Amino acid sequence: MGVSMATARTWVERWERQQERYAVDREERFTVIADVVEHAVVGRADPLVLDLGCGPGSLAARLATRLPRAEIVAADMDPVLLELARTHHADAARYVDTVIGADGWIRALALERPLDAAVSTTALHYLSESVLLRTYRSLASLLRPGGVLVNGDHFPPDAAACSELTAHVGRRRSERTGGDAREDWRSWWDAAAQEPELADLLDDRRRRHALHPAGSGGDERITVSRHAALLRRAGFAHVAPVWQFGDSAVLVAVMGGTDRRPAPAKT
């Protein structure tokens, strides 16, 4: 039996509030990511966008509102968050259950044409550097020439001596906006464990995480310059941060080459 709309709404809204505790200026970050995608797909009648680590559909829903003609494919491995997304944001995306970076994850997406953009927010830092490079290479093979990868996440500065400073700036910003007073991630999951409608999904989640532990091998200390180097090795032509506050940043990588797809006819 699926999750009811009322239950999905309750837990998605609580998720939105607790995530504001961790992502500095989270709504602004979402807006910047949408700005980049909007720029990358200008003039395209049916852009195709992939949302990596979509969770309960937070970014996918905002992109669907901003780009109503886009086809959005949203991927995640968490059965609880995916079911919340499918119920609460049913029309925003086609949701895919897959483990990013694992064998066969690209096939699971069932993409029938090149991507115009791939986006992610606070998800890819769970990947180890070797899996991250492999994932970047896979995305480079899926994106059209001129397509973009947009990653909003926590990136420590290249100078280790500055890492405490950037983290402090982010924490102070969160305090000023009330983010530190909100429910935290662990409390959200502890509360969700008491929701009867989520019981079977939580059992499934525990089984999956035993096979794919969250964060196993991940490295949240990969700097922006290291990400840029990995992206260039993967085949991206240009890499640049377009927004930053503390150690929270939006990093954009652009594929080289010329897109020969005909522009849509004017009417």
Condensed to tens digits (0 to 9), the pLDDT of residues 203-250 reads 999 999 888 765 444 556 788 899 999 999 999 999 999 999 888 899
Asked whether the predicted pLDDT for residue 137 surpasses 60, the reply is yes
First-to-last alpha carbon distance for the chain, in angstroms, is 46
Strands of the sheet with 236-245, listed across from one edge: 94-97, 71-76, 48-52, 115-121, 143-154, 248-255, 236-245
**How confident is the model at residue 168, as a pLDDT?**
75
pLDDT in tens, 55-92: 999 999 999 999 999 999 999 999 999 999 999 999 99
- In 25-87, beta strands by DSSP E: 48-52, 71-76
Q: What is the rounded distance in angstroms from the CA atom of residue 50 to the CA atom of residue 59? A: 11
Give the contacts of 17 (CB within 8 A, at least 6 positions apart).
182, 183
Q: Which of 153, 109, 129, 151 is nearest to 254 (CA)?
A: 151
pLDDT (tens digit per residue) in 171-193? 777 777 665 557 899 999 999 99
User: Which domains does the chain carry?
Assistant: 5-244+251-255 (3.40.50.150)
Contact 189, 58 (CB under 8 A): no
The pLDDT value recorded for residue 18 is: 92
Task: Read off the pLDDT of residues 6-40 as tens digits, 9 standing for 90 and up.
Answer: 999 999 999 999 998 887 789 999 999 999 999 99
pLDDT at 54: 98
Q: What tokens were used for 255?
A: 């594929």
The answer, yes or no, to whether residue 114 has pLDDT greater than 50, is yes
